[in-house]
Amino acid sequence: MDFKSKLLNDAVEQMSSLPGVGKRSALRLVLFLLDQTEKEVKDFSNSFLNLKEHLNFCEECFHITEQKKCEICKNPSRSNEIICVVQDIRDLLAIESTGQFYGKYHVLGGVISPMEGIGPSDLKINQLKNRIIEKGIKEIILALPATMEGDTTNFYIFRKFQELNVKITLISRGIGVGNQLEYIDELTLGKSLLERSIYKSNIHN
């Protein structure tokens, strides 16, 4: 699609690089921005520059934060004895929106996927183990996607942490196979969290 303008072509190309945005949608968005004032466009772009420059990852759970520790990890009303393990920040936000979890989180940053060249060393698994040992965590909830990669990661964590004195649980499999947590409604996700089961029993059944 040639727009007879290098500047317009470049803008549409950048906009269409976003997930789920095709060339036609990108063109509509770019034309919308062109209709805005210069100040509005600058404010729009500056908000993303500030996000990129000043947002960090929590040194404890790897959630996004503007400080060393995120608001969840700093909250004294959250339980320090239980950790919910998630694939990424989107899953953390999905579980948090249910209002059914009062512990803390650990963001792995992905799941084990040999096809994509992602191994255990690419994830925050060793950091999770250190947290369990140093903080005296009593339970970790595996809330990874119900996919082959998610199951592989669950099993790896289970095997790696077997010698630790920690209970390993799994969210209820009422969630369909292949479903991503961020697309599951809050009621179903909250119920799956409350009805979690001991992971070891799932291995032997």
Q: Which of 96, 100, 102, 168 is nearest to 132 (CA)?
A: 168
CA atoms within 13 Å, Cβ hemisphere of 73: 20
This prediction has a pTM of 0.79
Q: Does a structural domain hold residue 63?
A: no
Query: Average pLDDT in the 151-179 region?
Result: 81
Query: What residues contact 110, with CB distance under 8 A and at least 6 apart?
Result: 87, 88, 118, 122, 123
DSSP 16: T
Q: Does a structural domain hold residue 143?
A: yes
Q: Does a structural domain hold residue 198?
A: yes
Residue 152 CB burial class (10 angstroms; 0-12, 13-18, ≥19): middle
Least confident of 47-61, 78-92, 110-124, 185-199: 185-199
Q: Does a structural domain hold residue 67?
A: no
Q: Check whether 97 has a pLDDT greater than 80.
A: yes
Q: Check whether 128 has a pLDDT greater than 90.
A: yes
Same domain, 121 and 186: yes
Q: Does a structural domain hold residue 65?
A: no
Q: Check whether 200 has a pLDDT greater than 70.
A: no
Structure tokens at 135: 């903080």
Helix (H, G, I), strand (E, B) or coil at 22: coil
Number of domains in the chain: 2
pLDDT at position 131: 95
Residue 15, domain extent:
6-46
Q: Does a structural domain hold residue 60?
A: no
- pLDDT-derived band at 185 (thresholds 50, 70, 90) equals low
Q: What is the CATH classification number for the domain harbouring 12?
A: 1.10.8.420
Task: Please spell the DSSP secondary structure of 35-64, one letter per residue.
Answer: TS-HHHHHHHHHHHHHHHHH-EE-TTT--E
pLDDT, the chain, mean: 87
143 near 132, Cβ under 8 Å? no
Going 169 to 173 to 176 to 177, the CA torsion angle's sign is: positive
